[in-house]
Structures are given as C-alpha cells and as structure tokens.
Amino acid sequence: MVQRVGAVWLAVIALYGVSGLISPGMLQLSQAINILQISAFLGIVATGQTLALLVGGIDLSVAGVVTMSNIVSTSVMAGLPQNLWIGVFMSLSLAGMVGVINGVLVTMFRISPLVATLGMNSILFGSALVYTQGAPHGAISPGFDLLGRGHISGLPLSTISWLIIAIAMIWVTRQTVFGRYLYAIGANSTAAYLNGIPIRFTKICAYALSSILAAFCGLLLTSYIGSPSLGIGEQFLLTSVAAAVVGGTSLNGGLGSISGTVGGTIFVTELNSFTNIVRVSSGTQFILQGAVIALSVLLYRSVSTVRHNHSFP
Amino acid sequence: MEKDRITNHYSRRQAIKMSAAAIGFGAFARALPVLAGDVIGNAKIISSGEMVPGSKYKKDGPVRIGFSNGFSGNTWRTECLYSVKMEASRHPEIADFIVVDGQGDIAKQVNDIENLVSQNVDAILCIPNSGSAVAPALRDATRQGIITIPFNLPVDGEAWTAYNGTDPQNKGFQLGKWLRGAIGKAGKIVALGGLPGNSYTAAAWAGAQKAMEGSQIEILAFRDAYWEEDRAKVVMADLIAAYPQVDGVWCDGSQDAAGAMKALLDAKRPLVPVTGDDYNGLLKLYDQHAAAEPKFQIGLLSEPTWESVIALRTALKLLKGEDVPKRQVIQPQLITSQNYKNYVRPELPDGVFIDTDLTSEELKKLFKS
C-alpha cells in the first residue's frame, strides 16, 4: 500500500520536474501555490469520490451536486451578509439528503451505483434548470469570497480547507471502525455481511459524505467566482474519478487511500496547468492529458509490488 | 458574399489608435445604444441578394411551428427561448409552438428534428449543436416542404430555407482589430474561446488571427475556457504564471473575459484591454474597476438573443406567402469603455445578456431580481 501511494507522489514530482524544464513558469512559487489552490476544488470532490469507490460504488452525481450548491448558495445568500450561513447550511444539508438518497437507491433498491448516481446527476441538473428557469440569479454574501480567494501566511484558504478535510478523512479511513468497514465492504461485501458489518448504513454514509464534500467544493468555487452558473459542476463528473484512480484507488472497491487521491488530484491539476501553459493546440492538449493519465496508471502498476488482491490498509 | 463585402470594406481601414479603432468598430456594429424601444426594429440587418419565394409555402389558417434548441442551460439560450415564446404568443395564427431540447447531444437533436417532421409542423427553427450533423435532417425536412430556419450557428450546405445570425468570423476579426488598436504598436496577448471544437469560436478566432497579421502582437496562447467564468479564471491563472507579460486578452465571450480579469485581480496584476460580448458580468466588473485600472479597456460585440424572433418572423412571412432573404446577417451592438454606461445593468444578475428585446420588467421577472 505504501509503495502504491508513493508511486503517485513520484509521478507528481516527475511531472513537475519535466513541466518545469519545458516551461520554467511552472517552477515559480506563485504557480506552485496556484496549482495547490486550483487542486482544492477537485481534491475535495475526489476525496468524497474515493469513499464511494472504496465501498465498491461510484458517485457520478458529484457534478450535479457542485452545480446545486452553487445555485442554492448564491440564490439564498442573494448578496446579503445575514444570509451567509443559511446559504452554506442549505447547500450542505441538501447535498447530505442527495447522498442519502443515492445510498438508499444503491443499497435498498439495488440499482447499480453508476446508473443511480448518473440518474441523480441528471435530476439535479434538471432541477437547477427548473428552479432557475435557465436564468440563475443571486450573488455571494459580502466576505464569503475570502474562502475561495483568501490566504493565510501565503497559503490559499481553499487549499488549507482541502488539507484539513483530507487529513480528517485519512484519519477516518485509517483509524476508525467506520474506515475499516469501508474497505471490508469494498473488498468482499459477502464476507463483510457475514462478519456483521452494517453494509447498508456504511454505504449510505459513504455516499452522503461524497455528496457533502462535493457541495463544499461547490461553495469554494462559488466563493472563487462570486456568481451562479449552471455549467459549473460538469468538469468534476469524471475528473474526480480520474484523480482517485490515478492516486491508486481501485474501481472495483476495497483498495485505495485518501492520501493517494491527494497526490492524484495534484497530478491531474498539474497536468492541466502544464498543458495550459505549453504551446500546443487544444486537440493536442486533450491527447496529452489522456495519454499521461493512462501512462501514469500503467507505470505505477508496474512499480507497485502490491498484488491486486483486496486487502485492508 | 455579403460577409466578404463587409470584411474587405473594413480591412482597408487602418485603426491603430483606440479611438480610431472604435470608429471602425462602430461602422461595423450598431454604434449607438438602441436598447430602449424597438430593439429589433432599430437593428441593422444585412440581407443577402438571394430571395426565397414565399408562394410555395403559403398557408391559410393555423400553423404549427417547431423549435429544435441544441441545448439549454446558459442564460443566452434562456433569454433567446423566452423572447421567441413571447413572440409566438403575439401571433394568433400559431396554433402550436413546440420546443424540443437537444441537451447538447448531436444525435438527440437529429432525432428531435425528425420527430418535429412527423408531428407535421409547418416550420422548424433550429440552433444546431453541429452545423454538419443536422444538415441531412434539415435537408430531408426541407424536401418534404417544411420551412427550415437554422439560426445563430450556420448549417453546412444550402439545403435549408433561410438563415439568420451574426457573422462570427467578422466579429472575431473586428474584436482582434480593436484589441490590436487598444494595445498599441506591440504587445503580447492570450486568447480564450468557448467549448472545445465549437464552430463559432473556430470562425471568430480565425478572424482574430487575420486581424493580427502583420502586427507586432505576439499570440502567447489560445485556450478553451468553455464560456464559463470559473474555467476561464483557472486557465488564466496558469497563463499568468507562465507569461510575465500579458498586454491584452482576446475572448469571443465575456464570461471568459470576466474570469480572465478576475484571475489578474487575484494575481495582483494590472487589468488589460479585453474583448467579449454583451454579458452583464463583465460590464459590472468594468464599472467597478475601471477607475483604478488605467489600462483596463473593453471592446465588445453583442450576440443578440433575439435572433430567435427574427427566425420565427421569417418563417411566418413565408407562411403568409411573402418572399424572404436566404441569409440575414445581424449587426452586433458595439460596447466600449466610452459607451458601456448605456448598457451596464447593475440591478440585474451577471448572467444577463444585454442585447435583448425583453423589457426591464421581463428581465427582472425572468431573473427574479
């Protein structure tokens, strides 16, 4: 596991070195901080996505949840200072409900996670369209932009938020009984059931956490931009899965880690930044991104000595 | 043909200074704000010489009209749809006005058009997701005697009845020329476009590059920014890190422009001349920062949201037996640092597009503000 996690960090450092050689701008401290700031958005969604992947599921509703959070928070805040916390609370609690519904659909109605969450994504986007009638309105409360744009000792507040969340989730997955359950269910749900692990409850919690974290990302992005936009969440639909997989999380469940996802997120963001900076056409940019992600997964598989059997961390 | 005439006309002009650029711009665009009163009636629309005879489409009695919208979900499309619905409600001869949404899917839109044909509509209005993909479906409908009016984005070939929209290539050219003038003799620019591979940005950027030819302006990068502020801000933050000197930003949409300027603000870099369209968010941003940012200038050409109304009126004229032009090229509104105060709407959300036939009350109702 350690080597599996280590591989992604090697990839992060190698890509940083190579991109710095090609475009020296990448090596500036300001750009490193910029990458960390941008990583926070994807990183928080991917942290939640990792929890869903660990239990053998997937959460494709994160895109819709990010958009919902953006639309709900700006609409509730309406530019008024007194509405700030109501906006935050409503976004997070609605997301929690969405996550619970996802979990119930997957566990009680036995709908495939891919279908259930993709359907939920579509419902959320449709609801945002119906609610706004395609004309989103509202604005953030004064001072809320600090979350997405502020710094503490030179480090972006969004990055600090992400790292706190990541550390908390690392602790939850590694040190708590709930964390052990996540891995056990993903590795072999029948064995987990026979061992008396509350499968439904754990899975529902995993989906709820995934949704709440996606909503938090929506709040950060809203703070970063300050206004509503119906297309804001779309970018996270598959990149959140990519960041987790690049970080060593298995799509089959039971294998992976939050710390790996942190590395995977930085890798994916770094790659996007690098392809933004190098002078290549848009098409080449997509090819580069896809090829490097595929290559990195292949590489660390060969570096990793861990067999692809299911195991506890 | 018409496009060539306009382009050649303005390529003869030399517009290096900002003010001169604005004059050249103004001749192409509608120079004065006409957003009060009859927006469409006051607009400048250049028609092609070729006419479509209305006699073969004349129909007495109630008519059925279909609108195949490529996708919905941005505020431009919302205003566009609202305008055409309002217009449809003003024509008692329209028995049915059927709107179908392609949800951004090329195959779904083709299917939508086929469904409209099977519902026996008399005319199909269409904003294509892809100018090539919908061409066969529109051709089949046209052959069956249905009026087909693509608008906003051109459709390949000529197997449709009539088209209206702005000229993206010429708009891109004019925006490029303005930026060249605003920057001065030499400088470095970055460019931000819309969704990857979309034909509007491709045409506009081709025009912009033509405008930069022979100048000492270096194009550092062209990047897709999805016409989303957050995506544009992220891309611009990367470009700022890579290039210490950026003297101007070319954008075909002002969501990109607003995101780019916000990235410059966060990086504590001076704001620079930027191009775009009539997105209220950028106008509000300009209003807020212009005084403190001496180099910040805007050169914007609108994309009228009432193109849908022209499309509907064209279809109705044909159904009355009147002749209509094969192509109608709408001249955009020109918005610059000099006249932006006539356009900016501080009381309305950022997402509003200003070049609309909707009244203040209708916009407030639509945007619940």
> Tens digits of per-residue pLDDT, A164-182?
999 999 999 999 999 999 9
Indicate whether B343 belongs to any domain: no
Question: Which two structure tokens, joined as six digits, stand for A155?
Answer: 């480090």
Indicate whether B289 belongs to any domain: yes
Q: Helix %, strand %, coil % for chain B, to 5?
A: 45, 20, 35
Same domain assignment for residues B158 and B206? no
| Cα(B132)–Cα(B155) distance, integer angstroms | 6
Mutate to test the interface with A, among B199, B219, B238 (most CBs of A within 10 A): B238
Q: Tell me what pLDDT residue B130 has.
A: 85
The string of pLDDT tens digits covering residues B175-188 is: 999 999 999 989 99
Q: Are A254 and A54 in contact (CB under 8 A)?
A: yes
Same domain assignment for residues B177 and B294? yes
The CATH number of the domain holding residue B50 is 3.40.50.2300
Same domain assignment for residues B157 and B256? no
Q: Tell me what pLDDT residue B28 has.
A: 58
Indicate whether B54 belongs to any domain: yes
State the number of CA atoms in the 13 A half-sphere of A286 facing the CB: 6
Which member of A37, A134, A272 has the closest CB to residue B72?
A134
Residue type, A78: A
Q: How many CB pairs under 8 A join A and B?
A: 107
Q: Tell me what pLDDT residue B11 has.
A: 32
Same domain assignment for residues B46 and B22? no
Higher-confidence residue of A74 and B26: namely A74
Q: Tell me what pLDDT residue B24 has.
A: 46
**Partner-chain contact A136 B237, CB within 8 Å:** no
| Cα(A210)–Cα(A230) distance, integer angstroms | 20
Indicate whether B216 belongs to any domain: yes
Indicate whether B69 belongs to any domain: yes
Tell me how crowded residue B38 is: count the other CB atoms within 10 A of its CB: 9
Domain boundary among B281, B301, B321: B301
Residue type, A33: I
Indicate whether B211 belongs to any domain: yes
Q: How confident is the model at residue B314 (pLDDT cuts 50, 70, 90)?
A: very high
Indicate whether B350 belongs to any domain: no
DSSP A41-55: HHHHHHHHHHHHHHT
Distance from CA of A37 to the nearest CA of B (A): 10
Domain total of chain B: 2
Domain encompassing residue B185: 2-31+168-301
Q: Tell me what pLDDT residue B157 has.
A: 92
Higher-confidence residue of B29 and A73: namely A73
Same domain assignment for residues B252 and B103? no
Mean pLDDT of B144-163: 95
Q: Tell me what pLDDT residue A3 has.
A: 54
Mean pLDDT of B30-36: 49
Average per-residue pLDDT for chain B = 89
* A289: nearest Cα among A235, A249, A230, A248: A235
3-state secondary structure of B99: strand
Same domain assignment for residues B290 and B200? yes
Mean pLDDT of B31-55: 79
Same domain assignment for residues B259 and B135? no
| Cα(A116)–Cα(A119) distance, integer angstroms | 5
Which member of B72, B229, B367 has the closest CB to residue A129?
B72
In chain B, what residues touch A45 (CB-CB under 8 Å)?
Answer: none
Same domain assignment for residues B173 and B290? yes
Q: Tell me what pLDDT residue B20 has.
A: 40
Indicate whether B369 belongs to any domain: no
Q: Helix %, strand %, coil % for chain A, to 5?
A: 75, 0, 25
Return the ∠ at Cα A157 (arms to A154 and A159), rounded to 5°.
95
Cβ-in-10-Å burial (0-12, 13-18, 19+) of A293 comes to: buried
Domains and CATH numbers, chain A: 2-303 (1.10.3470)
For chain A, 313 residues long, give each residue's pLDDT as a single digit of tens: 445 557 889 889 999 999 999 888 888 888 899 999 999 999 999 999 999 999 999 999 999 999 999 999 999 999 999 999 999 999 999 999 999 999 999 999 999 999 999 999 999 999 999 999 888 989 999 999 999 989 999 899 999 999 999 999 999 999 999 999 999 999 999 999 999 999 999 999 999 999 999 999 999 999 999 989 998 999 999 899 999 999 989 999 999 999 999 999 999 999 999 988 887 887 888 898 889 888 877 876 676 655 444 444 4
Angle between helices A62-77 and A84-107 (to 10 degrees): 150
Same domain assignment for residues B10 and B155? no
Considering only alpha carbons, which residue of chain B is nearest residue A24?
Answer: B242
Radius of gyration (Cα) for chain A, nearest Å? 19
Mutate to test the interface with B, among A137, A224, A287 (most CBs of B within 10 A): A137
Same domain assignment for residues B200 and B317? no
Evaluated on CA atoms A193, A197, A198, A199, the torsion sign reads negative
Mean pLDDT of B216-239: 94
Mutate to test the interface with B, among A223, A277, A279, A287 (most CBs of B within 10 A): A277
Q: Tell me what pLDDT residue B148 has.
A: 98
Cβ-in-10-Å burial (0-12, 13-18, 19+) of A110 comes to: exposed
3-state secondary structure of B324: strand
E strands in chain A: 151-152, 155-156
Same domain assignment for residues B173 and B293? yes
DSSP B173-193: HHHHHHHHHHH-SEEEEEEEE
3-state secondary structure of B71: coil
Same domain assignment for residues B92 and B161? yes
* B63: nearest Cα among B110, B115, B98, B31: B98
